[in-house]
Amino acid sequence: MDRSAQQPSFAFIAASWGALLAGFCAYLVGLWNAGMQLNEKGYYFTVLVYGLYAAISLQKSVRDRAEGIPVTGIYYGLSWTSLVLAITLLAVGPFNATLALSEKGSYAMPFLLALFGAVSVQKTHVTSALFGRTSPKAKIRTAHRNRSTAFHERAGPPLQKGHTRYREARSKCWCRTVASGSIGIMCVP
């Protein structure tokens, strides 16, 4: 992972949240004021939420792959498929609806702005976590991860499954597999 990334500025974080909220709210205001049946409004709302989830999921899987974190091909493909499907559903819905052209555009533009904002917010949240600006819950997770890593560094080389010491240690101690795939043994007092 490239640790030379710059910490996101407050202006970029605010712009990311602003884009997400502006797109989301503009889409919902347009949906609220539309003269559609309730089932049509439900369709458009579901497409918005599905699109936001798909965009965040795709951004996360792309970032994980770039950082060397394993992402299965199935999940990566489903993320791409979901995003394309959400955009297609939003394109097909207004195209077949009896709406004015300006009304059709009033769904597409906020939708795309909300997708951009969701990806930007997710990116700034992860990048901010690298620099320590994050929630208390994430700080606890990071501290736990750091303790776990420190233990594995003190414990020496990891034991492999099938190894005699592994079986003996496992019967007396607590076994833990970390994200890197190594196995560490921790005895509970």
Per residue in 16-72, pLDDT (tens digit) is 999 999 999 999 998 888 888 888 889 999 999 999 999 999 999 998 888 888 889
Q: Domain map of the chain by residue range?
A: 10-134, 139-186
pTM assigned to the model:
0.63
Q: Which of 19, 14, 13 is nearest to 131 (CA)?
A: 13
The per-residue pLDDT for range 153-173, each reduced to its tens digit, is 555 555 555 554 544 444 444
Backbone angles phi, psi at 109, to 5 degrees: -65, -50
What confidence tier does 178 reach under pLDDT thresholds 50, 70, 90?
Answer: very low
What confidence tier does 114 reach under pLDDT thresholds 50, 70, 90?
Answer: very high
Q: How many helices (H) and strands (E) does the chain have?
A: 6, 2
Judging by DSSP bridges, how do beta strands 174-177 and 183-186 pair with one another? antiparallel
